[in-house]
Structure 1
Amino acid sequence: MSSTRKSGRQRVPNKKYTVDAFEGLDITNSDSENDLELQESKVQAAKDDGNDFAESDHEPVPEKDDEAIEVSDHSDTATPEDTEQELTKSVSGKRRRKQPPVERENMRSRGITDFRIRASRLDDDLFIENIVGSDEKDQADFRQNRNKWINNISLPTRYPNNLGQGGMAYAFNHPADQRKTEATVGWDWYFNEGGKSTFQKKQILEPLTSTAGVAYITRPAETIKKLLLGPYGKQQLFTLSLMQSLSLKQSWKSAQTNNYVNVGDPRNRSKRQDAWILNVGTSVQCLEWAPNHPGAIQYLAVSTLPPKAGNDQLESAPAYTPWLRSSSIQIWTFTRTAAPDNTVHLNPELQTVICTEWGYARQLKWCPMPRDPRINGSETRVHLGLLAGIWNDGYMRVLDLYLDAHRGSNTTYGMLVENTTTVTNSTIVKYKSAGFEARPPETLCTCVTWLSQTNIAVGCANGYLAIWNIFPPNTTSVQDTPLRPARRSKVPSNPQSNGQSTRPYLYIPIHHTYILAITSAYHSSPHLLCTSSASGHTRLTDIRSPSSDSVLMPHMRIGPSSLAYSTHLNCFLTNSEDRNFVRAWLLRRFWTYIGIAKGEPEVLSIGVAPLHSTILFGYADGTLLAVNPLRRYVGTFLRGGQPQQAVWKQEWARSAPGDPGGEEEGRGGEEEGRGGKEEGRGGEEEGISRFTEGYKLENVVLNPEYERTMKGHGSTFQDKDVAAFSTIYEEKSAIRAISWNPNLDYGGWVAAGMGSGLVRVEDLAI
């Protein structure tokens, strides 16, 4: 029999410094106190058990492994056997008092396997199951997507190889039969059931002359842009007038020999692809390519911010205040011309300008569903499609856009810029009312996304989600009908909408404050909606049962403003808390992320292509970054890090005092004082933009340790390349909007809008 160790300290009673008035009474072992202790033990056991829904102030520290995919699971799940061992062992390995078991009926499980193992050690089948689920069709579609585009290093390829890999194609989880049904049956409401005639009746259009249209055009103080373009080290100065375009091939030709220069330098491509730069005026707010146009003409809608002015002062917060002002939307056309070497060139022209008095368009979204043309013999116009947008007056509107099929515009608009009146009436059109418009009471619409051909989801400034059916139209006004039964409220009157607004069929609170972004999981799961709010929460909601089926990703200090869905990856893409990382949040495991890209400045825009897996990211310093995240979606991660490519970079700088225009700014500053430059010249400063390209491919190691060190959690930094500061860049250098062309023959064309008022359109397909 082994001896028992005893303490050598003398046992003495503890000193009492107070007199217990209830000593001797049997009240300390009451049932209430026993219940309290039992409840505390259950809570402690649940925390030790690693319950999915147990709160924690600190995130778990993943194991540092450069060869492993960055997988952060913020709520691990423990098995009953692990829980039993954890309860009986202490941290130091010694046995401790066994706590009472947790009642299983009070616990919840997600019903999926644990994913705490490093991804590099997972079997491929298990890895795919944790990403897309156990459905065999979903797994097969994901494998086909991965096998087709995984060999694209960064940029897409125009044609597939002998094995069928690469090229432009629709995602395998969006099959041909589904697209055919959406293109035919899905649009019967518009062509056969009166939808077209209803929109045409409700839309009131007014052709404008050039003299009247100038008031709606965004005209900055700096109407001529100065550009530095050309090969590396041999750039030349170019000027670009308002609403004009410039081919980059011209900038790559020598002024003396009219030939390409320095063909031996790999950064100077002797046969560069087509690229154009457009001068749209002021900073680009949003831009979108029109889908369902497989022909020779492509259409691009661009919305710009109004120029700054010293007298634009709102009494309340501008994000929560409707703002009515003259604005416009530019529709650019790109006509296809074939070259002898079978390359495609798109020559840009400004087709028309849509003028409104609803404030500038914060967001524009074309209806992405496929559509058959159904053109009759008497139709002489081109149907662009349904364009949904959020305007600065807080309304969501849907425009049914038609354009003249045989009208050019580049020459006529050049006359408009010169304030002449010799311009055709169809070049500039004012929309007095939209085909569909709505706004919930006592709030503003902030973001929009399409769910189907007739259903639109909108995020609001009060944290509510609203979903409308745009057909059949519901003419019931909510001025006399309460939207929420618990409270009667009226819609603020709007002169442009005659005080009318339709009621959404779903209007529920999903956030506590301002919704920053919203997107749906179309094509694969259009019933799933992802929203981010200013409170730092991002939520995935199933609109079939929104009250019960929702999940939150880990809270961030700053809510992500960039949000997109990739149907090839089955995930949502957002910027990280430090804003320079890009994370993929898996659709099956929304609380788990995989890092796919990393840059130094802040991510402001994300461009997801529907015809290939390459994703573009626009940064605050003007860098356009291309990444193929499918290379991260393998069970055994490739050695050497994640490949990513800086396509080009735009840098904007203010003009020096000796440059042309700088003296005027100086004189304005003397007249108006410190604010004279902004108030005297409308807040616009003259400057110059420089485009550099030819950056080499780089491999970056995406490791969670980098993010923790950049957040400043540790006292020392383990990597010398990690900086603990943020750089502030010029506002006009930023890439504010990115859009891939959704049409099959033009899937490699991309448009990027910048804060300097320039739009670069380029074919990136290899």
Structure 2
Amino acid sequence: MPSTRRSGRLSGVRKTYILDSAVDEESESNSAEETSKPRRNKGKQPVHEDSSDEEFQVGPMEEEEAEEDFEDEGSLDGDPGADNDADEEDKASLRQRKAPKTPQTKFIKKRPPPSAGVLTGEEAHSRGTWNPFEHVGKSVHLQATFGLDERDILAVLYARDRWSRGFDSTFPARVSLDEAHNLRDYKYGSTFGVEPGGLDRESTRGWDWYYGEGSGERWRKRQRVEPITEAEARRTFMSTPKQGKHTVLVGPANKQLAFTLDQYDVLNYGDAWGVAKDQQITDSAGSKQSQKKRQGWIINLGQRVQATAWAPNQSGLTQYLAVTAPISSEQKALYPDLLKDSAAPAFRPSASYPCALQLWSFKADQGGSITKCIDMSFSPRLRLVLGTNWGDLRRMSWCPIRRAPRDEDDENVDKNIGLLAGIYGDGYVRVIDVKISRDPNKADFYRVNTPIFEANPPSTVCTCVTWLSPSDIAVGCANGFVAVWNIAPPSVKPSTNSLENPLPYFYHPIHSTYVLNIASAYPTYPHLVATTSMDGETRLTSLADHEKDVVDATRMRVGSPHLTYSPWLQSFVSSDENDFVRLLTLRRFFTTTAAARLPSTVSALAPSSFWHPSVLLGCTGGFVLATNPLRRLLHSKEKQWQQTWFSHTWVRGKDARSSGTSRFYDGYRAESISLLRNMMGDRKLINGTMVITIHEEETHVTALSWNPNQSCAGWASAGLGCGLLRIEDLAM
């Protein structure tokens, strides 16, 4: 019976002897000294800095082990004498293939030099990028985040000089807003990296199509409106009032006052605090004035506020705010919905519900500084109501492109406010040329029969809209497509069919399903369009080549309906499923940077302002917060601060159909928050279980907007689910 085969290897720790060549040269006696070291783990040696083929050659220890492995492999036939009969020639050939082991060196991680991102003339262009999480210098970080072009770098340096100070960490400071013309603009700072002459030409020649005779005149006359009475407008297009008056509790936390508001009543909630006798401010003229602790208005619209938007290009003291509130469900029941059972409501046209677009006017104080305060002696007034029969006005956006004043504006009987694009419930996108009477004490009521532009993609509905230029609009659709129209009239008189439904010059699938929101990188790169979809994808696409120039951000489990572009940050601002606010930089769109954290689900995001980088956010819990992410974007280790504007809570009344009661809390201080995810101190974790609070729909913050005009850049509006609209000057 053959004996059991046993391994020829020795058990225990093996001693290794390393011979130093330098020692051999000194004396033969020292060459015999032995140095014992513990056994190294195979495959665990560090990598050399200077990589070469010599790193992978076998040393003396590996040679000895390789010989034993060779002996074991030669005995696989089960012969007990195979260990003694190994082929000596194979051993010799194996030794010849082995080279002396090179000395081991410690791996040192090198930091890329400051000029690592600059390509020399001999190097080829690469579409790759660095890892943004590497520990690199500040200059390299700026280049990796904002690009290598001097226009991008100078624009962000201008933003850093103006808005990276401590008192600008949350709300915009009045001092920073006033010094717009005093600081050095680096040529590209005030234009966000765009050539200054380009924006000037866009504000003048870019609007020639609107003022031109012939085609422009036909285009303006295409809009047809007819006047109606105020009683008819309130009965048909505006929501019916609820039972009873809306009770509002506002004031200091320990001494709040109760006010009752009927529909379209206006409240100066600064009266709840009164005047601080020992608190005075000095204006630019040197006169001292008493200052109220809170100054602002609350308007009761009677129904959930769907959208709000301040009118741009208003350089005077009067400012205009467009507001829309849908009619009640009882009123909608009077209009039959023929497509009710055909598809989901979001993917099909709705019934032709009536809707009203309201335009409210506010007055600015005649102060000496550039940034104006709200004139609390002038009560807000309803100036214009445009009634339509196209379904609810779900989204609206004023044309933000600057328009230089012309003599033709003063020759018209009515005052031109601007172009307003809207997405209606019937699936169409429409553009209305909004004009009001020059009499400040007059309110006009009209029914809009035909807008200046309307279009609808085939077999789908429009979901969101953004402006690319004075004459181009981009629209997201329910089938995942993005359509771009030019609303400027053609030089040749078009046919009747082309006016009814014009064809877009760009219509391609960007997503696989419903497009939730769309935003253009105007004015930095107007051809770059960011979109969010219901499938959780966030994508940046170039309209010049939508198949090649496209990049995706980190996919979310739940799609975000909030998206806006901030030219100060050169980033898109959005939200995620974990109640965080994220920044998507143009140059690093594939990564996200957390900028804020809300106590509940994000429900509203104000379009970014062209005058400051502060971001205004609202959530379902009734909180409205503001933060300035610029310092965190420049230095990732900086503390992030955010401050609550107000918190709102709504409770039901005794009757289910009553207006209920709203309570406001103000006076929150700025707080430094942690943006770590899944931390132990998470407010949503109770005994290790994630808890989500469901708030009343009337408590939600449904609409937010910044004033886009320089003189009133600190003004903000907030619409709530209970129908209240709050306006306040937030500049500190």
**Structure 2 length as normaliser, TM-score?**
0.75
Distance of 1:478 and 1:554 partners within structure 2? 46
Q: How does 1:591-630 map to 2 (within 5 A)?
A: 591-607=590-606, 608-630=608-630
Shift of 1:273: 4.4
Q: Are 2:468 and 1:451 aligned?
A: yes
Q: How does 1:452-531 map to 2 (within 5 A)?
A: 452-473=469-490, 500-531=500-531
Distance of 1:165 and 1:233 partners within structure 2? 43
* Matched residue, 1:209: 229
Distance of 2:192 and 2:616 partners within structure 1? 21
Q: Are 2:441 and 1:408 aligned?
A: yes
The 3-state SS of whatever aligns with 2:375 is strand
Task: Give the direction of change, closer, same or farther, for the CA distance of 1:8–1:742 in structure 2 (3 Å limit).
Answer: same
Work out which of the residue numbers 330, 349, 361 in structure 1 matches 2:393. 361
Shift of 1:211: 3.2
Q: How does 1:98-497 map to 2 (within 5 A)?
A: 110-117=127-134, 121-151=135-165, 152-160=168-176, 170=190, 172-173=192-193, 176-194=196-214, 196-213=216-233, 214-222=235-243, 224-253=245-274, 271-309=292-330, 311=333, 314-315=340-341, 316-323=343-350, 324-338=352-366, 343-345=373-375, 347=378, 348-376=380-408, 378-409=411-442, 427-473=444-490
Q: For residues 395-434 of structure 1, what are the alpha-carbon distances to aligned partners after superposition, in whole Å with 9 as ceiling and x for unaligned?
A: 000001111111424xxxxxxxxxxxxxxxx621000111
Distance of 2:368 and 2:179 partners within structure 1? 24
Report % sequence identity: 35
Letter in 2 for 1:140: L
Query: Are 2:216 and 2:489, in contact at CA under 8 Å, matched by a contact in 1?
Result: no
Task: Give the direction of change, closer, same or farther, for the CA distance of 1:689–1:548 in structure 2 (3 Å limit).
Answer: same
* Matched residue, 2:674: 701
Q: How does 1:644-683 map to 2 (within 5 A)?
A: 644-655=642-653, 657=654, 662=655, 665=656
The structure with the larger Rg is 2
Q: For residues 682-731 of structure 1, what are the alpha-carbon distances to aligned partners after superposition, in whole Å with 9 as ceiling and x for unaligned?
A: xx5531111101111110121245499999xxxxx8xx898612111111
* Matched residue, 2:640: 642
Task: Give the direction of change, closer, same or farther, for the CA distance of 1:752–1:344 in structure 2 (3 Å limit).
Answer: closer
Shift of 1:147: 1.8
The 3-state SS of whatever aligns with 1:338 is coil
Q: For residues 376-412 of structure 1, what are the alpha-carbon distances to aligned partners after superposition, in whole Å with 9 as ceiling and x for unaligned?
A: 4532321001111101110000001111111424xxx
Distance of 2:689 and 2:293 partners within structure 1? 36
Letter in 1 for 2:173: T
Query: Are 1:157 and 1:166, in contact at CA under 8 Å, matched by a contact in 2?
Result: no
* Matched residue, 2:544: 544
Work out which of the residue numbers 654, 664, 682 in structure 2 matches 1:691. 664
Letter in 2 for 1:282: Q
Letter in 2 for 1:647: W
Moved more, 193-202 or 396-405: 193-202
Task: Give the direction of change, closer, same or farther, for the CA distance of 1:698–1:401 in structure 2 (3 Å limit).
Answer: same
Letter in 1 for 2:175: Y
Distance of 2:204 and 2:76 partners within structure 1? 89
> CA RMSD for the aligned pairs?
3.2
Distance of 1:228 and 1:730 partners within structure 2? 17
Distance of 1:279 and 1:730 partners within structure 2? 18
Shift of 1:122: 2.6
Query: Are 1:122 and 1:635, in contact at CA under 8 Å, matched by a contact in 2?
Result: no
Shift of 1:130: 1.0
Moved more, 134-143 or 392-401: 134-143
Shift of 1:328: 0.5
Shift of 1:292: 0.4
Moved more, 287-296 or 626-635: 626-635
Task: Give the direction of change, closer, same or farther, for the CA distance of 1:304–1:194 in structure 2 (3 Å limit).
Answer: farther
Shift of 1:165: 7.1
Distance of 2:174 and 2:127 partners within structure 1? 41
Shift of 1:635: 3.5
Shift of 1:605: 1.4
Query: Are 1:263 and 1:270, in contact at CA under 8 Å, matched by a contact in 2?
Result: yes
The 3-state SS of whatever aligns with 1:592 is coil
Task: Give the direction of change, closer, same or farther, for the CA distance of 1:170–1:754 in structure 2 (3 Å limit).
Answer: farther
Structure 2: stretches of 5+ with no match in the other structure? 1-62, 79-124, 281-289
Task: Give the direction of change, closer, same or farther, for the CA distance of 1:194–1:582 in structure 2 (3 Å limit).
Answer: farther
The 3-state SS of whatever aligns with 1:451 is strand
Query: Are 1:123 and 1:635, in contact at CA under 8 Å, matched by a contact in 2?
Result: no
Task: Give the direction of change, closer, same or farther, for the CA distance of 1:195–1:301 in structure 2 (3 Å limit).
Answer: farther
Q: For residues 430-469 of structure 1, what are the alpha-carbon distances to aligned partners after superposition, in whole Å with 9 as ceiling and x for unaligned?
A: 0011100000111100100000011110001111111001
* Matched residue, 1:554: 554
Task: Give the direction of change, closer, same or farther, for the CA distance of 1:131–1:200 in structure 2 (3 Å limit).
Answer: same
Distance of 1:202 and 1:637 partners within structure 2? 56
Distance of 1:565 and 1:620 partners within structure 2? 23
Letter in 2 for 1:629: P
Shift of 1:615: 0.8
Distance of 1:707 and 1:476 partners within structure 2? 65
Task: Give the direction of change, closer, same or farther, for the CA distance of 1:298–1:174 in structure 2 (3 Å limit).
Answer: farther
Task: Give the direction of change, closer, same or farther, for the CA distance of 1:745–1:722 in structure 2 (3 Å limit).
Answer: farther
Shift of 1:340: 10
Distance of 2:508 and 2:244 partners within structure 1? 45
Task: Give the direction of change, closer, same or farther, for the CA distance of 1:339–1:180 in structure 2 (3 Å limit).
Answer: closer
The 3-state SS of whatever aligns with 2:329 is coil
The 3-state SS of whatever aligns with 1:145 is helix
Task: Give the direction of change, closer, same or farther, for the CA distance of 1:193–1:127 in structure 2 (3 Å limit).
Answer: farther
Q: For residues 360-384 of structure 1, what are the alpha-carbon distances to aligned partners after superposition, in whole Å with 9 as ceiling and x for unaligned?
A: 1111111000001213453232100
Task: Give the direction of change, closer, same or farther, for the CA distance of 1:721–1:286 in structure 2 (3 Å limit).
Answer: farther
Task: Give the direction of change, closer, same or farther, for the CA distance of 1:592–1:238 in structure 2 (3 Å limit).
Answer: same
Q: For residues 334-355 of structure 1, what are the alpha-carbon distances to aligned partners after superposition, in whole Å with 9 as ceiling and x for unaligned?
A: 1234379985416311101110
Distance of 1:340 and 1:540 partners within structure 2? 43
